[in-house]
Structures are given as C-alpha cells and as structure tokens.
C-alpha cells in the first residue's frame, strides 16, 4: 500500500483529514509528529493535539530523524506523518544543508512508498504567497517546495486541501 500526500495552506484541514484517513484504515495507527515545543504557544498546540488523538494510537516524536522513525515502525501499521513543514524548519534550524534535507526527503519518500501498512503525509504549500523579504525565509520556501515535489513524486495520491475540501492532483 502506498502513501497519500496532503498539501495545502495552514489551517486548511489537512491534519483532520489525515486523522480521519488513519481512523478509517482499520489498522494500528502510529502518529509521527515533527513538532518541537520551542515556545509556550507551540507547547500548548502540541498538548492539544495529543489530547485529541485516539487513546489507542501511538505517538512518535521525530523532529529531526523522520525517515529513521518511519523505518522503526511496524510495517503493517498505518502512519500519519504530520508534518513535513515543521520537519524542514527543524532541519534548517539545526544547520542542515539544503542537499542533505533533500536527500533525507528522498529517503523518507522511498521508505513510505514501500510500507505495506500505508501512510498519509501532511505538508504545507508555502509557495503561493508573496516572495519573502529575507534570505532565510526565501531559502525555506524554496527548499520546502523541493521537498514537497520529491515527496509527491512517490505518493500514490496527492490531494490539495483547501477549507476542508480536497482536490486530487494528477501526476505528471
């Protein structure tokens, strides 16, 4: 079973849809979270998300070593990877070079594509707004765009999520 990539803007309904897909899978669910509590607001968001997940789900924290975390899970479990957006930000903040981030994203996509249990991956589309004014923000936008492409290339399904509605995006 291959994976689905959900892409859209912030607060568009991607995470809710990912959780619905996991609940409907009928499989053991592992939620692989990439968020790190860098401030009080993010700590509260993480607490809220944890509290709202079904009790039977396992949560794995993987702010940096995402591909490794995916590899360590039961191959038959259904994975929710939420989200690539924070993962790329975490890697940049930890000083990783762009080429290393892209290599990690390719490795992640390959691991996800071969999982028999299936997965859904959440990411933001950050390239549809204005051009950021500073070099780091432009670097982040460009790198996340490239990570999203690498992840979409191996996904069985790519869905654009806007206002809680989805549109399947065809391959090239």
Question: Does an H or E element contain 64, and which?
Answer: none
Span 121-136, mean pLDDT? 92
Query: Going by DSSP bridges, is the β-strand pair 157-162/165-169 parallel, antiparallel, or unpaired?
Result: antiparallel
> Any catalytic annotation for residue 49?
yes
How high does pLDDT run on average in the chain? 94
Q: Are 70 and 110 a contacting pair, CB within 8 Å?
A: no
> What pLDDT sits at residue 1?
65
Q: Are 53 and 94 a contacting pair, CB within 8 Å?
A: no
* Burial profile 37-46: b = 16 or more Cβ within 10 angstroms, e = fewer: eeeeeeeeeb
Query: Among 1, 13, 37, 49, which one carries the catalytic annotation?
Result: 49
- Record the pTM: 0.95
Chain segment 20-45, per-residue pLDDT in tens: 999 999 999 999 999 988 889 988 98
* CATH number of the structural domain spanning residue 74: 3.40.50.300
d(CA 11, CA 69): 25
Domain membership of residue 29 as a residue range: 3-167
Is 172 part of any domain? no
Span 92-109, mean pLDDT? 97
How many folded domains does the chain comprise? Answer: 1
> What pLDDT sits at residue 90?
96
């Amino acid at each position: 079973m291959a994976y689905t990539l959900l892409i859209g803007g912030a607060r568009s309904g991607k995470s809710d849809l990912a959780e619905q897909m996991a609940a409907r899978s009928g499989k053991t669910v592992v939620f692989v979270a990439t968020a790190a509590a860098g401030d009080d607001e993010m700590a509260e968001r993480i607490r809220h998300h944890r509290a709202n997940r079904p009790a039977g789900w396992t949560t794995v924290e993987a702010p940096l070593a995402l591909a490794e975390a995916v590899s360590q899970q039961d191959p038959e479990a259904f994975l929710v990877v939420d989200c690539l957006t924070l993962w790329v930000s975490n890697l940049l903040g930890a000083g990783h070079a762009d080429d290393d981030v892209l290599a990690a994203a390719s490795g992640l996509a390959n691991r996800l594509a071969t999982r028999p249990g299936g997965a859904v991956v959440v990411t933001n589309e950050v390239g549809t707004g204005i051009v950021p004014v500073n070099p780091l923000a432009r670097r982040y936008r460009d790198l996340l765009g490239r990570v999203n492409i690498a992840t979409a290339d191996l996904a069985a399904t790519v869905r654009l999520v806007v206002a809680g509605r989805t549109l399947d995006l065809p391959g090239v």
